[in-house]
Amino acid sequence: MTTFDTIYQNIIKKIMKEGIEELNERTGHKTRSLPGITFQIDLEKEGFPILTLRKNPIKSPIAEQVWFIQGEKNTDFLRKYTKMWDEFLEEDGTLTSAYGYRWRHYFERDQLGKLIELLQKDPSSRHGVVITWDPKDDGYGGTPKKNVPCPYTFTVNIIGGRLNLHNIIRSNDMMLGCPFDVFGFSLLMYILAQKLNVRPGMYTHTISNAHIYDTHYEGAKELISRTNTHENIFPKLPENIFNRAEKKDEQLVDEIYQSFSSYFKPNEPIIGLDIIK
């Protein structure tokens, strides 16, 4: 098993054993939940965090991060690779809370661009914060939206010549959303390290509410029982990813995918892992 497989499997065990079961009124489903779950993985030493205990899509989070870097809320590029956001789209095909749009065009500044400029000028800076959540409009019964951000902020810093990213999640569906988010934001961390010409360091994932839906209980039990001999994955990513993503390079998503696919040999899928709306 990979390092991430072990970390993830232990968290699922903990939630299934110690999680508080309550009814979630919005979805109408029961969940087992725990607050304040945090884990770390050293991408340089322990490999890229891809879940191999079950088959799961990796091209989707690759396409998503490339799209985020573009700063778009129009989903034409993204929908060439995944339809996972379709249920959240507005009639004009846009996603009002698109993470990349908020990173690059919202709050009257290009947060991602400014982050890169900051760390190029001052690698020791501790001001590298990117916000996705809009406090004047998200949640609290504000403007109705089909989706509000779950990963709502992340910080980036460079320590000892290595770039670290701390991702903070208000709510994580542990059987579906968590592996997807970990893969995607770890990829973003790699891309930023590449852009800044430093080594990738520590990825930290903090979840305010880590939960498993009742419809996923059996799938969680199956995952807990699994094992494999998969080795840690150290992909050789294409060069110049950030700039190519900004230019909407049509070949980039497939090139990044190919850098993982030859190493990624997961277990069989787990039946019953359906998305809770």
Q: Coil, strand, or helix at residue 205?
A: strand
Q: Cβ atoms within 10 A of the Cβ of 206, count?
A: 17
CA geometry: angle at 110 spanning 109 and 114, to 5°? 105
The reported pTM is: 0.95
DSSP tally for the chain: helices H, then strands E: 9, 7
pLDDT band at 26 (very low <50, low <70, confident <90, very high): confident
Report how far residue 34's alpha carbon sits from residue 218's, in angstroms, rounded to the nearest whole number. 18
142-189 residue pLDDT tens = 777 778 899 999 999 999 999 999 999 999 999 999 999 999 999 999
Q: How many CA atoms lie within 13 A of 50 on its CB side?
A: 27
pLDDT grade, residue 274 (50/70/90)?
A: low
For the chain, where are the alpha helices, taking DSSP H only? Answer: 3-18, 43-46, 59-70, 99-104, 111-121, 177-195, 217-225, 241-246, 252-261
Report the pLDDT averaged over residues 244-261.
96
| Superfamily name and number for 3-261 | Thymidylate synthase/dCMP hydroxymethylase domain (3.30.572.10)
Q: Which residues are catalytic?
A: 150
DSSP reduced 3-state for 185: helix
Given a cut of 90, is residue 275 above it in pLDDT? no
What one-letter code names the amino acid at 149?
P
Q: Domain-by-domain residue ranges, the chain?
A: 3-261
What's the pLDDT band for 86 if we cut at 50, 70, 90? confident
173 forms beta bridges with 211
pLDDT above 50 (res 276): no
**What value, to the nearest 5°, has the Cα angle with vertex 126 and ends 120 and 129?**
85
Position with higher pLDDT, 92 vs 229? 229
Q: Nearest 5°: CA angle at 151, between 147 and 153?
A: 120
Could you give the angle at the alpha carbon of 85 between the alpha carbons of 68 and 259, nearest 5°? 55
Range 208-227 average pLDDT = 97
Question: What is the share, in percent, of the chain residues with pLDDT greater than 90?
Answer: 83
As a whole number, the mean pLDDT across the chain is: 94
